[in-house]
Amino acid sequence: MTRPRQPSEALQRYALGLSRERLLAPAAKGSGARRAALLRKLAAAGVKGWPKHLTLFTKSLPMGCRPCLRGRGSNLVMTLKCNRDCFFCFNPKPRTAEMSVHGRSVRSLKEGVELLAGLGVKSVGISGGEPLLEKRKVLALARALRRRFGRSLRIDLYTNGDLLSLPVLRSLKAAGVSGLRLNLAANGYDPAPAASASGVFKDVEVEIPMIPEDKGRVLALLGQLEELGCRHLILHELFASAANAARMEGRRAHGRRAALTWSGVAGSEEAALEVLLAALRAKRKISVYYCSTGTQSWIARRARG
Ligand code: SF4
């Protein structure tokens, strides 16, 4: 007898969000004008990207984001389990060991690799939950992806960094992982995992949600990451979805509706734009990339063709 499939993680994360679309209070007056003024300052300071989609960067785009922006990127969620419980986490609860590709539930790594091959992807993120809770499977997947796609595929591992050690970093590299995406908002912006990873990987990138009240801490982290030789700080717009709605209560929507089933949180976009502006004005070598809810809906439209 075949086991019935669980609703995929994407279905839980996004489709259930439909019923909660208006979970945030309306946007505060004046936020649109503030955003427009910041965009003008960024243009004058030489920001790159696609302002129309709120997809902006200061120097260069991360390698893994380039195919993704063309609709040629995907991810494999290794597990939804995690050793942390961040308030902004959008993964549904209870956190299961379910594996999925591009939001479709898969039962084996082999099935996952074949699904990715069918999608014709050029970059893959191995994510979670915390994927390193399944370290052996991560290594097996990276090897299988390298065998199937060769060197041309970009493989990034998304991790909160808690479980990284020198032997783990070395084995990830040997298995074919191209680079790391560290969510250091999970550990309160401690750059220690980036410091150890940069001894092994050339591409160590930090990817965090832009929590408006943490702007000062993010700016401090930016300087530390530059000193470590990290190439990119990737800022996501903080958003509320069905999974994290209760813990986002009290925050406001940003007032610009993206074609998505989650809502950007007011102040996050402005804070991200201010970090970009500060990086440009300080002539930072590290590139800051802002991936907004506007970017996400743009990518989703491109992936649908
Ligand atoms: S570390 Fe990542 S997966 Fe884990 S709870 Fe935080 S945001 Fe969610």
Task: Locate the domains of the chain by residue range.
Answer: 29-304
Residue of 12, 13, 82, 126 with the most ligand 1 atoms within 8 Å of its CB, for mutation = 82
**pTM, to two decimals:** 0.85
Task: Pick the closest to residue 74 from 158, 135, 130 (CA basis).
Answer: 158
Q: Are strands 55-57 and 48-50 parallel, antiparallel or unpaired?
A: antiparallel
In tens, the pLDDT along 79-116 reads 999 999 998 898 888 889 999 998 789 999 999 999 99
How much is the pLDDT for 258? 44
Q: Whose CA is nearest to atom 5 of ligand 1?
A: 85
Q: What distance in Å separates the CA atoms of residue 90 and residue 301, rounded to the nearest whole number? A: 21
Q: Which helix (H) or strand (E) holds 125?
A: strand 123-128
Measure the CA angle with vertex 6, ends 123 and 294; round to 5°. Answer: 45
pLDDT for residue 248: 65
| Bridging pattern class, strands 73-79 and 99-101 | antiparallel
Q: Which residues line ligand 1 (CB under 6 A)?
A: 82, 84-86, 89, 91, 128-130, 160, 183, 186
CB atoms within 10 A of CB 192: 13
Q: What spacing in Å lies between the alpha carbon of 39 and ligand 1's midpoint?
A: 30
| CA 26 to centroid of ligand 1, rounded, Å | 27
Cα(100)–Cα(259) distance, rounded to whole angstroms? 23
| Coil/strand/helix, residue 291 | strand
pLDDT of residue 86: 93
Which atom of ligand 1 lies nearest, measured to the CA of 160?
1
pLDDT tens column, 266-296: 788 899 999 999 999 999 999 999 998 778 7
CA-nearest residue, atom 7 of ligand 1: 89
State the distance from the centre of ligand 1 to the C-alpha of 43, rounded, in angstroms.
33
CA 102 to ligand 1 center in whole angstroms: 18
Higher pLDDT, 20 or 152: 152
Q: Is residue 302 pLDDT above 80, yes or no? A: no
Asked whether residue 250 carries a pLDDT value surpassing 90, the answer given is no
- CA angle, corner 99, sides to 150 and 185, nearest 5? 90
Mean pLDDT of the chain, nearest integer: 86
Pairing of strands 232-237, 287-291: parallel
Statement: residue 256 has pLDDT above 80: no
Mean pLDDT of 9-21: 42
Class level of CATH domain 29-304 = alpha beta
- Residue-level pLDDT at 1: 40
CB 282 within 8 A of CB 264: no
What local confidence, expressed as pLDDT, does residue 246 receive? 65
Residue nearest to atom 6 of ligand 1 (CA): 86
- Centre of ligand 1 from the C-alpha of residue 186, in Å: 7
157 conformational bin, left if phi > 0, alpha if psi -120 to 50, beta if neither: beta
Cα(103)–Cα(54) distance, integer angstroms: 24
pLDDT bin (cut points 50, 70, 90) of residue 249 is low
Window from 14-18, 195-199, 232-236 with minimum mean pLDDT: 14-18
Closest CA to 160 of 88, 262, 61, 243: 88
Query: What pLDDT is recorded for position 183?
Result: 98
pLDDT of 193-215, one tens digit each? 999 999 999 999 999 999 999 99
Q: Between 125 and 28, whose confidence is greater?
A: 125
Give the count of beta carbons closer than 10 Å to the beta carbon of residue 227: 12
pLDDT at residue number 11: 43
- In this prediction, residue 22 has a pLDDT band, given cuts at 50, 70 and 90, of very low
- pLDDT tens readout for residues 24-49: 455 556 667 888 999 999 999 999 99
Distant-in-sequence, close-in-space partners of 132: CB < 8 Å, separation ≥ 6: 138, 157, 159, 162, 163, 164, 168
